[in-house]
Amino acid sequence: MAAECAATSVQSRGARLGLLGALVACAAGVFVPARAAEEPEAKPPSAWSNSTELSYVITHGNSNVQSLGFKDTFEFKPKTGRARFRVDSLHTMTSDDPYLQVQSGITFQPGEIPTNFSTSAVYPGTDPDVTRDFVEGRYDGDISKSKKTTWNAGASWDRNLDAGIVSRSIAFGGMGNVWWDRDDLKFRSSYGLSYTNRVEDLDDPEKDQRFLGARLTAYFMNKLGKSTTYDVDFTGNVSLRDFSDYTADLTQGVSAAMSKRLALKVSLQLTYASEPALQDVDVVVRVRLIDPDGIPGTGDEFYETIDSGGIKIEIGEDALRKRNLDATFRTSLQITF
């Protein structure tokens, strides 16, 4: 009898444990999926991105300068291919030095200097000093399934009045490679053909206005830590008819993130032209007056040219090539979204 009671107790205890285990399993089956469903799913990366750089400098007082810089890069990256649109503009307004102007109504003979007059200060207004504009649209399509080999086509327009470029239009197309395409490291290059149509301040008999060329571009980006980013953008273009006629543009930048959307960026842009545009310049001669007998007005006086000082005389005009290299340093606020 005691043995039967013990067996019954053991069976009852086992039944209770089995029932408890079943309840725990049901609870796990109900609440674990529910908890997983409550956790938000990670959002897929956006197909488009935009980066805007703004810089504005204004001084007023002894010097009047207004400088406005705007740079925007918009990219759209669907499942295949990549589209990019860029705008880069830099405008600077400066004023000439102030001067004193003699009052009106005073008369004097040629060769004389007026006396007994009053003057008033004149502060000239600002005039355009630097004008640079650049617009480019480009599409890169995937050739291989690995997205490592691409084709590209696009066009750009720019002007740089300081460099003598009134208008320059370039259409291009070719092949490319994507070497790295990570969030913290990107490097891609492309190479192909281009067609250039340029208008400069002065007609240049040594250069073609329109020509077929070869084009090379490269882009590199590397994140250094959590808040610092270094990037390089290079574009080179050479005339296939005249290999001595080529241009190169290299821009390097370092940005430091202040928040998820804002960063401070410094950049250095180097623009090189092997055959820069022509400009009109004055032909100047500096001379000193030599009087052999020391008596003015006897007719034996003559001028002798010297390197500096003396009397400055403009004797005509001629053409001179502008400098090959332009360097532009910028400090700007970068907005990314």
**What per-residue confidence (pLDDT) applies to 229?**
96
Backbone angles phi, psi at 28, to 5 degrees: -65, -40
**What per-residue confidence (pLDDT) applies to 111?**
62
| Pair 166, 278: CB distance under 8 Å | no
333 contact partners, CB below 8 Å, separation of at least 6: 53, 54, 55, 262, 263, 264, 265
Of the CA atoms within 13 Å of residue 279, those in its CB half-sphere come to 13
CA distances from 65 to 37, 58, 162, 232, 317 (A): 60, 6, 17, 29, 30
Could you read off the pLDDT tens digit of each residue along the chain, which spans 337 residues? 434 434 444 344 444 434 444 434 434 444 444 444 455 565 666 889 999 999 987 777 766 778 889 999 999 988 888 999 999 999 988 887 778 888 888 877 766 777 888 888 887 877 777 889 999 999 999 998 888 999 999 999 999 998 999 999 999 999 999 999 998 999 999 999 999 999 999 999 999 999 999 999 999 999 999 899 999 999 999 999 999 999 999 999 999 999 989 999 999 999 999 999 999 999 988 999 888 888 877 778 888 899 888 888 888 889 999 999 999 989 999 999 8
CA distances from 325 to 92, 269, 272, 277, 329 (A): 19, 10, 5, 12, 13
Closest alpha carbon to 221 in 208, 211, 234: 234
CA distances from 141 to 51, 78, 118, 178, 190 (A): 22, 10, 72, 11, 12
Rounded CA-CA distance 74/136 in Å is 11
Q: Which DSSP symbol is given to 29?
A: H
Closest alpha carbon to 156 in 240, 241, 249, 79: 249
233 contact partners, CB below 8 Å, separation of at least 6: 218, 219, 249, 250, 251
Query: Whole-model pTM?
Result: 0.76
**What per-residue confidence (pLDDT) applies to 188?**
96
What does the block give as tokens for 293?
A: 């007998």
CB atoms within 10 A of CB 331: 12
What does the block give as tokens for 187?
A: 């490097």
Q: Which DSSP symbol is given to 292?
A: T
Helix (H, G, I), strand (E, B) or coil at 105: coil
Sequential DSSP letters for 128-184: EEEEEEEEEEEEEEE-STTS-EEEEEEEEEEEEGGGTEEEEEEEEEEEEEEEEE-SS
List of domains in the chain:
48-96+121-277+324-336 (2.40.160.40), 283-314 (no CATH)
What does the block give as tokens for 207?
A: 């250069």
Rounded CA-CA distance 120/104 in Å is 11
Q: Is 265 exposed, middle or buried (0-12, 13-18, 19+ CB in 10 A)?
A: buried
Q: Which stretch of DSSP H or E encloses residue 320? A: strand 311-321
**What per-residue confidence (pLDDT) applies to 65?**
78
**What per-residue confidence (pLDDT) applies to 66?**
84
- SS3 letters for 219-260? EEEEEECCCEEEEEEEEEEEECCCCCCEEEEEEEEEEEECCC
| Pair 260, 283: CB distance under 8 Å | no
Backbone angles phi, psi at 19, to 5 degrees: -65, -40
